Amino acid sequence: MFVEHPLITMETVEEREYQSSLSRIASKESTLIVLPTGMGKTVIALRVIAEVLSKKGGKALFLAPTKPLVEQHACFLREHLVGKKVAVMTGEVAPEERELLWLENDVIASTPQVVANDIRTERASLQKVKLIIFDEAHRAVGDYAYVSVAAEYRQFSGLVLGMTASPGSSGSRIKEVCENLGIERIEVRSETDPDVVKYVHDIQMDWVEVEVPLEMKRIIFVLRNLYDEYISRLTKFGVVDRKRPMTRKYLLEIGNSLQARSRGGEKHRNLFQAMSLQAMAIKVDHALEMAETQGATALRNYLHGLQEEATSDEGSKASRTIASSAQFIKVQEMLLTLKVEHPKLAKVMTIASWQVHEKPDSRVIVFTHFRDTADLMAAKLATVDGVRVVKLVGQSKHSGEKGLKQKEQVGVLDRFRSGEFNTLVATSVGEEGLDVASTDLVIFYEPVPSEIRAIQRRGRTGRKRSGRVVVLITKGTRDEAYAYASLNKEKSMKRGLASLQRSMDKEKGSEIANEEKGSQESQKGQRSLSDFP
């Protein structure tokens, strides 16, 4: 059975009960839809666009965070939307050309920064826009461009549709997203809901633990001593709350506080020393993360970069102090003779090899947070029989190697979908929104502390058939803390959504009651007035 609508190409979009219900609601009220990755948020967007344009006319604006995502949405709309012109607007399109696109097209797919800039320079107006869709709506916080576009749009009282797999872990974060976008209603669907469950395939979750090699434990011991030394000295300056665990997040808070004091006019020696110690502790903490969770190659590359920074004219005092320390020199010497890599690497190779031999038509994605690990992983997987591997990384330059431009990222995904490659090694650029081919196996090289990223990674499998997710955890390291943090934040997100839904429903009920009461009182007033001659 297919969706029937005068603006949707016949027999191209499958009719699904939950999509029909959600699109019907979102066509009438500004709605935040929270739906698992791979469950067709773009189809819902299509249906809402078609309904709004057919009933209200005007234009629709479809915003997404990245150019590949914008082009993906535009391609989908052009394929399925009948009789409406769809344009793509990104920073690569000249401002004069964008001005014409605004005038000539019915649907604009764009990155939010471009729209915000065009509004500011009066090249564009939202006056004729009847619907704005904010994809990956969880980004609508702080100074992200979604916030300014939505604020400008409020004066026109148009419809808003926010879409995300996870709006945030706390009730306050979810509320901020809703307030910033002008959301009136929240609709949540999970894999277990009756109208969704028949479209969901089983996902097997496996948590695989590994041990830090003994040789690396010795290096970690030396780095830990250096880190503890910096924290001890920092504590003596009275800027550390001893009751709080010394996490990286807390260290960054300390750094922000010290910077604020400096900007506020404080210029004494103790403040500068504390700022330097905080910077040194952050750098050594990162080295510890490389050693614990990534491996020897990643650690070598990081320490090499630190040493280069220390010897350059622009190098910071923190880098020079670390590089000249006895502990740093000792670690460098130990790394020269270190032959082992992180055991996670062998696990990934074994798991991927088993997958492609058991199911030759499989697609595998390996997610890792760090570019060095992605490079090493791709090189190692290329040696595994049956594995045809390609990397998906961001645009930034790294160790002299250019990243992939957005057009190149789209090309990599196309080749992965077509089967030219069956294994994709991706950094965070592969997590958000992109239509990655239906994947049989997703491997987390490391857990991520963000529930948003964890949900997005998981959502790359189980789309068209059953899938498997493997999360690699190094025992006794921050990997364990990150895994627990992600699970706890996901639970908190569900509680926050439920609470905010109840609050919105209650508020809506009160408004309806007040309207009815006001109507009744008005009628009473009219009757009493009629008594007068």
H/E/C letters for each residue in 302-327? HHHHHHHHHHCCCCCHHHHHHHCCHH
Q: Rounded to an integer, what distance in angstroms lies between the CA atom of residue 493 and that of residue 495?
A: 5
Which residue in 483, 444, 461 sits closest to 202, CA to CA? 461
Check if the beta carbon of residue 60 is closer than 8 Å to that of residue 109: no
Q: What is the pLDDT of residue 524?
A: 44
Check if the beta carbon of residue 156 is closer than 8 Å to that of residue 84: no
CA angle 34, 36, 37 (to 5 degrees): 115
Q: What is the pLDDT of residue 434?
A: 65
Residue 254 dihedral angles phi and psi, to the nearest 5°: -60, -45
Q: Rounded to an integer, what distance in angstroms lies between the CA atom of residue 455 and that of residue 452?
A: 5
Tokens, residue 287? 């080295």
Residues in CB range of 4: below 8 A, 6 or more apart = 10
Residue with tokens 């996670």: 344
Residue with tokens 């947070």: 369
Check if the beta carbon of residue 116 is closer than 8 Å to that of residue 145: yes
88-93 long-range Cβ contacts below 8 angstroms, 24+ apart? 89/114, 89/115, 89/118, 90/114, 91/67, 92/67
Tokens, residue 140? 């609508």
Q: Is 531 exposed, middle or buried (0-12, 13-18, 19+ CB in 10 A)?
A: exposed
Amino acid at 255: G
Q: What is the pLDDT of residue 528?
A: 36
Q: What is the pLDDT of residue 57?
A: 96
Weakly modelled stretches of the chain, pLDDT under 50: 399, 519, 521-533
Q: What is the pLDDT of residue 190?
A: 87
What domains sit in the chain, N to C, each tagged with a CATH number?
17-199 (3.40.50.300), 214-337 (1.20.1320.20), 342-480 (3.40.50.300)
